[in-house]
Amino acid sequence: MSHLTLEDIAKRAGVSRSTVSRVINNHPSISDSAKERVLEVINVTGYQPNAAARTLASQRSHIIGLVLPHSASALFADPYYPYLLKGITRACNALDFTLAFFLASSREDEEQIFSRIPNRGLLDGVLVQSGHHGHLEIVDRLIETQIPQVVVGRPFFPETVSFVDVDNVAGGKVAVEHLIRLGYRRIGMITGPLQSTAGIDRQNGYLQALEEHNLPFDPALVVEGDFTDPGGYQAMQRLIPQKPEAVFAASDVMAIGAIRAMKEQDLCVPEDIALVGFDDIPLTTLTNFQLTTVHQPVVELGVRAVELLIDLIRNGTEPHRHEILMPELVVRSSCGYCVTKENQL
């Protein structure tokens, strides 16, 4: 178990070190006999090639980075992230890449991280979670480094970089259309932060659904949230006096907060206000009903992000690639159907 080198293996197998290298790297032109002998020795010795030496010689580290900017770290407790990480790590394992994880919890962290990202010989490419105005700078600086990269979430300037995202407009639209189909007309929305593309897009889905069904847009029925539970709670408090029949919350976490606000005023879901969420996170805290929501394929998003990045690393970063995954409505029991007089006529 001491530190064997290629040379040692070559000697024991009676071949040159080039040959050993070739069998390790699955080079096609190797005689079966040579291959067999080398493999035998490798098995017996438990030889592992030195990663740094490989990286230096091949100019490829097989490490990709994941950067979570400062402003994302506030939301890091959101269930979205474990799923994203699951997808990312799964793909990394499958493709034999190592994931370097950069979480910035402060501005200084961000600087620290930034000084390391473009280091030659460390990363082959990088994934950035983004889509928030606060990330503009970090994405820009990353682009400047010329390192292969893909943004997870639609960035504000999508032309300048490759990204993967969920179709948030379609997701918002399908959620609201579901409510419309059930007969609701006075539909409110708790948006995500309008500093983020996800927040903007889901709201646009809401607006499109209203428009296509000739429903009037009432600004008083739209309250901005921030994807957090307390944000949803406060937004719903402001929404209740407006007497919405139904509400679309742009995230499940906000929906939970919204439900709390309703309960405090003895309002029930869906009898008093129907509710649709977004994300489809496992919700164990709901006892009276199951939340109808829009499923985001987050694990898949992580997988695709990695696959795309590796593709860019191998085949060049131009032209930029954009991959959009479709979310899906998951109907459960938080919407009921509309029973207002108006619709019963």
Partner DNA sequence: CTGAAAGCGCTTACAG
Interface map 50-69 toward DNA (x if CB under 7 A)? x--xx-xxxx----------
Quick one: what does residue 331 bind among its own copies, DNA, none, with the CB cut-off 5 to 8 Å set by partner type?
A: none
Q: Are 247 and 257 in contact (CB under 8 A)?
A: no
**What would the two tokens of residue 255 be?**
């929906």
Q: Closest separation between CB of residue 22 and DNA, Å?
A: 6
E-assigned strand segments in the chain: 63-68, 98-103, 125-129, 149-152, 162-166, 187-191, 222-224, 246-249, 274-276, 293-295, 322-325, 328-330
Task: Kindly indicate which of the ranges 26-34, 102-110, 186-194, 199-207 contains the residues binding its own copies, using the contact rule CB under 8 A.
Answer: 102-110
x/- mask, DNA, residues 7-26, rule CB under 7 A, reads: x-------xxxxx-xx-xx-
Q: Is 34 in the site for DNA (CB under 7 A)?
A: yes
164 burial level (CB within 10 Å; 0-12, 13-18, 19+)? buried
Position 29 contacts DNA (CB under 7 A)? yes
Between CA 123 and CA 132, with CA 128 as vertex, the angle to 5 degrees is 160
Site for its own copies in 53-72 (CB under 8 A): 53-56, 61, 63, 66
Any bridge partners for residue 275, and if so which?
247
The rounded distance, in Å, linking the Cα atoms of 294 and 179 is 12
Choose between 107 and 341: whose C-beta lies nearer to its own copies. Answer: 107
Q: Considering the complex, what minimum distance in angstroms separates the CB of residue 257 from its own copies?
A: 7
Phi then psi for 7, rounded to 5 degrees? -55, -45
Strand 149-152 and strand 162-166: the pairing is parallel
Q: Which two tokens stand for residue 116?
A: 């390391």
The Cβ of residue 44 has, within 10 Å, a number of other Cβ atoms equal to 10
Is 98 one of the binding residues for its own copies (CB under 8 A)? yes
Considering the rule CB under 8 A, would residue 141 count as an interface residue with its own copies? no
Q: In the complex, which residues of this chain contact DNA (CB under 7 A)?
A: 3-7, 15-19, 21-22, 24-25, 28-31, 33-35, 49-50, 53-54, 56-59, 120-121
Residues that bind its own copies (CB under 8 A): 1, 3, 48-56, 61, 63, 66, 73, 76-77, 79, 81-82, 85-86, 89-90, 93-94, 96, 98-105, 108-109, 112-113, 116, 118-122, 146, 228-230, 233, 256-257, 260, 263-264, 282, 284-285, 287
